[in-house]
């Protein structure tokens, strides 16, 4: 089992234990072989960020050994409204300029 698969299982256990609605899990590799996890749920709208972090990290500390914990660089726990707000703050993608015509 790969580390991202193990993380996914841990987060799915958390979803069942706390009956989170539609938990979304995204695990991305970073430099140095570490990972960033993005865990979101509709249920997070009603839970302050610091409590979301506490719930997630309690489960991770329970299920992962020291090395596996080190592999996890960051866990982001946004609510859907926070994700939408963040997406609205991002600038639109740049349009590519067409090359000048040669004469």
Instruction: Encode pLDDT of 72-98 as tens digits.
Output: 999 999 998 888 887 776 666 666 666
Q: Return the pLDDT at 102.
A: 67
Whole-structure pTM value:
0.78
Q: Which residue has the higher pLDDT, 100 or 82?
A: 82
Q: Give SS3 for 65.
A: coil
Instruction: Indicate the domain borders of the chain.
Output: 11-81
Q: Return the pLDDT at 84.
A: 82
Give 94's contacts (C-beta < 8 A, 6+ positions apart): none
Q: Model confidence over 18-54: pLDDT tens digits?
A: 999 989 999 999 988 999 999 999 999 999 999 999 9
Q: 11-81 belongs to which homologous superfamily?
A: BolA-like (3.30.300.90)
Pairing of strands 35-40, 72-76: parallel
């Amino acid at each position: 089992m790969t580390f991202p698969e193990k993380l996914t299982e841990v987060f799915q256990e958390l979803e069942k234990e706390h009956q989170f609605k539609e938990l979304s899990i995204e695990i991305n590799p970073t430099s140095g072989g570490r990972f960033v996890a993005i865990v979101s749920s509709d249920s997070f709208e009603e839970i302050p960020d610091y409590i979301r972090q506490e719930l997630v990290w309690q489960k991770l500390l329970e299920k992962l050994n020291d090395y596996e914990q080190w592999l996890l660089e960051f866990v982001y726990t946004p609510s859907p409204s926070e994700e939408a707000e963040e997406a609205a703050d991002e600038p639109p993608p740049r349009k590519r300029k067409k090359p000048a015509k040669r004469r």
